Structure 1
Amino acid sequence: MSLRSSYYLPPQQLRAENLDSPLGLHTRNPQLSWKLRWNERGAAQATVRVVAAASCSALLNRDYLWDSGELRTDATEITYAGATLTSRQRVYWQVQVLDESNRITQWSEVTFFEMGLLTLEDWNSQATWLGNHGITVPLYRLSFHLDQVREDICTARLYSTGIGYYEPRLNGNKLGTQALAPEYTDYDKRIVYNTFDIEKQLCSGENVLGIILAGGYATRYQYGTPVFRAQLEILYHNGQQQLVDTASGPWLVSPGPWRDCDIFNGEWYDARLEQRGWDAPGFIAHEGIWQEVKPSNPCSSTDAPKGELVGTYAQTVEPPK
């Protein structure tokens, strides 16, 4: 298809599982889709070709994980059917289309999707469930340092979730744009985790991971005490991997400014209890307000959530802008 001169505009709005460049997919055969803008009235897709590779350079060199070939179809979606994908793998892909008169579009821009943690074994023992500290809406704070300088980082990911709702923060800023995360599921069967690209938020020296934890559906429907889980992975350009110890930490915990919080009845927020900078480096955690979470505090195997951990599979709720 690429040898013919292009006549139409390239396919646009490429998505995997109906998400834009998603991180943390949990299916090894994601649904890929695109939209078309035609130069003339009445034109329609007749044939499509989708190619996928492990890198942009591999796409350029035609070293494909998958080449669909020219498929006779008017459907603007297709299921990935290439090489078996593994946890954390990123896949780059693009699309080209022909109409009934064999006139061709330009190749679409290259986009990507990234796999999440596909098996339970991908969750390290240093990423246990934490919670159950007798606070309505607790603030959790973990200070850690990079093994190398910020400029040496190749990739950095935070895989995290909470039961019921949680908000992850890093170095004073909220991660992501989602609200009321994770999506509600039957926690005894399935628990959705989020994946964040945190490379740009990290800094040389001290870094601070913060978690705000609320009851949400966990307390409303009696799934148990709210808990959270976080796995923070850093890969450096020289191949060294750093797995931040999010189990023994040590984490610090403190009451937040929420006196009460309920998924249906709203929240009671006391601004006098705010602690500015609690989730940023340099903050002084005063004794009596902050307590250390002991390594013995993680949930026992009998108290830990039973559901399977799955990556994000739908557009998350976002607050109005």
Structure 2
Amino acid sequence: MTPLPSRALGGTGLRLTEVGFGASTLGNLHRAMSDEDATAAVEQAWGRGVRYFDTAPHYGLGLSERRLGRALAAHPREQYVLSTKVGRLLEPNPTPTELDDDGFVVPGDLHRVWDFSADGVRRSLDESLTRLGVDHVDIAYAHDPDQLSDRAGLEALEALAGLREQGVVRAIGVGTNAPDRVPGLFTSGLADVAMVAGRYTLLEHAALATALEPARANGVAVVVAGVFNSGLLSSPWPGDDARYEYAAAPPATIRRARLLADACRRHGTTLPAAAIAFPLLHPAVAGVVLGMRTVDQVDANLDRYRAGVPDELWDDLCDQGLVDPAAVAAGR
């Protein structure tokens, strides 16, 4: 099948399909899945035109990388863009546990060790290449450096820049849900791209000022993840048990999501379709990454993406004060 529409990743020469496959689910995020189901989900995404795949050592203590690498081995390496992340080394757990303690249903025989040093970044990338079974990745992100220290992000970018100069990777950046806490991310001249998770969605627009506009001003591309806000925006009508930020959604947040859902209904579309379309309005955004656990989830997400939304929806949401007019205007 023809790949989905794609966008340039700055001046790197890479192009990302507007929808990417987020492989955190392949690491048994929150619940286990089989190797066969993991391969089937990746294969279905490929068949539907997805050509950007993102993973990380953090996801299932390496399980996501191994599964994704095996699934992609069936396809020519030059036909897809692959990204992984650095900053969490996987080492033997001195006190092994039955299960990982960070949300993944995998044995706790390994643990994560923060390391954004030049040596740590290179070691992390080398180990990822082994798990993935490839000789290179296209994009390397420093993974959540803000969770370690104010300095970690810049330290990681400096280390990654050296690998980019050596041709080990083509693009570098930071993946974070707090871009405002990574000094120099958009002004250092080092980053090609930032992956912003959960902070630029139909529900919340904080990253417009902290990431999207600084990125556009400094020639940095943005990949948006977490567009469903941990599930709250993933169904046409958010239920009372909806999740937000990996916890039960507050009643006020559910009410706001339902106002968005109601507007979508009036305009003949759905809340999930609008959640996917919204970030793509901004010219700094190169693509959105969606977690897809099953063949059915792949189909549902890509059907929503392909359905699109009418322009009148954005005007309606702006008039209601539910969407920042500056976010819509940026794409017009």
Provide TM-score, normalisation by structure 2.
Answer: 0.23
Higher strand share: 1
- Identify the structure with the greater helix proportion: 2
Larger RCO: 1 or 2 (CA < 8 Å, sep 6+):
1
- Given the two structures, how large is their TM-score scaled by the length of structure 1? 0.23
Q: Bigger radius of gyration, 1 or 2? A: 1
